[in-house]
Amino acid sequence: MTRPHPAQSPAPGKPATPGRRPAVLVGALVGLIVAFVVLLAVTDGPSASDVIHAPQAIVLGAVEGITEFLPVSSTGHLVVTERLFGLGGSAKSLVTLDSYAVIIQGGAILAVLVLYWQRLLGAALALGAMLRLPGFRRHADPGGRRVAIAILVAAAPAGLIGLAAGDSVKNHLFSPGPIAAAWAVGGLALLGMAGWLHRRGKAGGNAGFSLDQLTWRHALVIGLAQSLALWPGVSRSLVTIVAGCLVGMTLAAAVEFSFLVGFVVLLAATGLELVKHGSDIINAYGWVNPILGLLVAFGSAVVAIRWMVRIISGRSLAGFGWYRLAAAALTFGLLAAGHI
């Protein structure tokens, strides 16, 4: 019997009852806010440090893994966390630090590969059959081919724009102020989407079309919208999910598609950073801490993805909207107090 992929089956363990899900969500969101406060308490603010220690590598890996596939912006959380740690003492070290953050995304990539290998393999085989590669013809599957095309089409706009404007984005938007503004706007967008889905009876993700029915035109709309996520704090997952629902996908399908597109986008971004700055990262931080951050990111991303799948089984994502607003307010407060 073929094993269903994670979006089609509940996470391992006893499912949370409908009554307990809001409490679990609120508890997790409060926990993330408390984590910011703890980081503030154990750091002295900007200290112009160019060194990442093992505890910091663990925290950065956990922040990356937990937030990468949730609609809250992993880049925004990493930048604020780095500022709380006082990392990035010079312009050169800031570039290396940004590259380090991209490299540890490899853990999140591995998490999607482990959890969604069947979907990804099916899409890859169908794409090979479409390209008439030797040995792939027997894997011709219309559904898999459609998913493969949709993933590539959705990933292309952000990739092309990122190559053209990536340095400009890093120079002007990778700071707590623009990130907090993006958190606030994205939070309002999530709350608006949650209300829109509820009015149309889609809160449980049951209305709309499935991932196998996604056309390249829908994917192009999602891909163009995803380009907004180049602004750190917006969140690639947020834009993909919102755009997916707006073109008619079920909430569950939109979330799964955000995982699959994220796999391709992050794989390309990580590979590019390795080629451009891999040696700089090793020279600055060694081998141990980048690998440690990557492994922690993998474990925490697995947990976060499974948790996300459980949330969408019967609830909206409004809680993440409230969290984004709280994170924006907290970040503006830290800026005003001179802590970041």
What one-character-per-residue DSSP string does 122-160 give? Answer: HHHHHHHHHTT-TT-GGG--HHHHHHHHHHHHHHHHHHH
DSSP for 264-331, written as a single string: HHHHHHHHHHHHHHHHHHHHHHTTHHHHHHHHHHHHHHHHHHHHHHHHTTT--SHHHHHHHHHHHHHH
d(CA 333, CA 225): 30
Residues paired with 49 in a beta bridge? 87
Asked if 99 and 280 count as a contact pair (C-beta separation under 8 A), the reply is yes
d(CA 72, CA 167): 23
CA 238 to chain centre: 8
Is the CA virtual torsion 257, 196, 32, 84 positive or negative?
Answer: positive
Res 340: pLDDT: 78
d(CA 96, CA 60): 15
Residue segments in the chain with a per-residue pLDDT below the cut of 70:
1-50, 88-95, 139-140, 165-173, 200-207, 313-316
| Greatest C-alpha distance within the chain | 63
Q: Which among 76, 264, 305, 273 has a CA at the least distance from the CA of 158?
A: 264
Asked if 269 and 227 count as a contact pair (C-beta separation under 8 A), the reply is no
Asked if 239 and 258 count as a contact pair (C-beta separation under 8 A), the reply is no
d(CA 106, CA 257): 18
d(CA 206, CA 234): 26
Res 184: pLDDT: 95
Res 176: pLDDT: 87
- What letters, b where the CB count within 10 A reaches 16 and e where it falls short, cover 5-15? bbbeeebeeee
Look up residue 23 and give its amino acid. A
Res 270: pLDDT: 84
Q: Whole-model pTM?
A: 0.78
d(CA 247, CA 335): 37
Res 8: pLDDT: 43
Asked if 244 and 274 count as a contact pair (C-beta separation under 8 A), the reply is no
d(CA 84, CA 338): 11
Locate 123 and state its tokens.
């899409």
